[in-house]
A = this chain, B = another copy of it.
Amino acid sequence: MFLRNAWYMAGWAREIDGAMLARRIADTPVVVYRREDGQPAALHDRCPHRFAPLSRGRLEGGVIECGYHGLRFDAGGKCVGNPHGDGRIPQAAQVQAFPLVEKYTLLWIWFGDPARADPSTIPDFSFLDDPGRGRVDGYLHVQANYLLETDNLLDLSHTQFVHPNFHFSEAILQGRHEVTQAGDTVHSNLWCPNGAASPMFAKRIPGYDGRSPVDQWMDMRWDPPCLLRLDTGITPAGRPREEGGQSFTAHILTPETETSTHYFFAHSRNFRVGDADMDEAIAHWQRVGFGEQDKPMLEAVQQAMGTTDLMSLKPVLLPIDTAAVRARRIVRHLLEAEEGAKR
């Protein structure tokens, strides 16, 4: 069961430049594409005549022609052409259109009440719009429920066990961890002031002597149902964050089905911008850390659980789970509110 009144990332904006994109999101097949004026649009990916996926058809002038019998649909889902017989268009020849906006270089889709689809409620990922920052992004298909991945990201203590090759300094392991909630937004912040730099952070400060004390942080922000932003950085002790090496990473977990997830991630930094070695180091971390370490662990957990809900298995709860449990509770409340509104 997925929240309907919520923004889901449907893909990177660049994915629909010159081509239709077919993707299953929240158990709904959608086709995403650009209208003639360049604006993005999304339709249920299923012709109402014989249920062929519209994404197997042809896009021309913002109109999709079904590849099976040639019915044509505009971006509102209205049938605008029937090549057969007298060309009359049956009233029922209508495809569901979904609100879709392009924002922060990402495509956002809304499955709920269109009247409530307000793009200003999309959490801030404006760092992705900043051409002055360095960016490395990627995608993984993960055979696990998106909430298992939320759990993973909202508890970064897993890092030292799942990613033992990425060493942290003692200062980080002993940082102050704080979980707070503002509205439906959860913050899970680690603050490590005035300590030794972690090797993987140290190289973010050009000319750093390797010894001077630094402030370091790893701040996760979560918005329902699956939108996370990680702010990590290092700065000379006592100096403002922006003066140091600071990265923001979007971790966006779009549910595909109950047991699979589109995992989009985009790392954005203010340091060593344009440095190809730095780009490759980050891409390597995404490949190994996310792809070869997190992904198999999450898929093993999903397999162990089958289709049973995590909470119904009565997991042992540790203090490190605080943020994840809070996020799950918010999603549950929002789902219950949607269910209640239906009655």
Contact B320 A53, beta carbon cutoff 8 Å: no
Smallest CB–CB gap between A178 and chain B, Å? 13
Complex Cα distance A2/B85, Å?
Answer: 33
B316–A66 touching, CB < 8 Å: no
Q: Which of B52, B66, B157 contacts A69 (CB 8 A)?
A: B157
For the complex, give the distance between the alpha carbons of A26 and B46 in Å: 28
Across the interface, which residues of B come within 8 angstroms of A51, CB to CB? Answer: 301, 304-305, 310, 313, 315
Partner of A161, one of B69, B305, B310: B69
Asked if residues B85 and A52 are in contact (CB atoms below 8 Å), the reply is no
Residues A302-322 near B (CB distance < 8 A): 304-305, 310, 313-320
Whole-angstrom distance between the alpha carbons of A90 and B320 in the complex?
13
Inter-chain contacts of A93 with B (CB < 8 A): 316
Query: Is A52 within 8 A of B315, CB to CB?
Result: no
**CB-based nearest B residue for A57:** B161
The interface residues of chain A, by DSSP majority, are classed as loop
A343 within 8 A of B: no
Q: Range of interface residues on chain A?
A: 35 or more
Shortest distance from the beta carbon of A97 to any chain B beta carbon, whole Å = 16
Q: In the complex, what's the smallest C-beta–C-beta distance from A44 to chain B, in angstroms?
A: 10
Instruction: Kindly provide the distance from the CB of A154 to the nearest chain B CB, expressed in whole angstroms.
Output: 12
Question: What is the distance, in angstroms, from A52's C-beta to the closest C-beta of chain B?
Answer: 5
A53 to chain B, nearest CB (A): 5
- Say whether A241 faces chain B, with CB atoms less than 8 Å apart: no
Contact A52 B297 (CB under 8 A): yes
Q: Is A49 positioned at the interface, with any CB of B under 8 Å from its CB? A: yes
For A162, list chain B residues within 8 Å (CB). Answer: 67-68
What are 25 A-B contacts defined by CB distance under 8 Å? A48-B315, A48-B316, A50-B151, A50-B301, A51-B301, A51-B305, A51-B313, A51-B315, A52-B297, A52-B304, A56-B300, A57-B161, A67-B297, A68-B158, A68-B161, A68-B162, A68-B301, A69-B320, A70-B157, A70-B161, A82-B318, A83-B160, A84-B320, A90-B317, A90-B318
Task: List the 4 shortest-distance A-B pairs measured between CB atoms, nearest first.
Answer: A70-B161, A48-B316, A51-B304, A85-B319
Q: A56-B296, A69-B157 are in contact. List 10 more A-B contacts (CB 8 A).
A: A45-B304, A49-B315, A51-B313, A56-B297, A67-B162, A68-B162, A69-B155, A70-B160, A90-B317, A92-B314
Which residues on A are within 8 Å of B, measured CB to CB?
A: 29, 45-46, 48-53, 56-57, 65-70, 82-85, 90, 92-93, 151, 155, 157-158, 160-162, 296-297, 300-301, 304-305, 310, 313-320
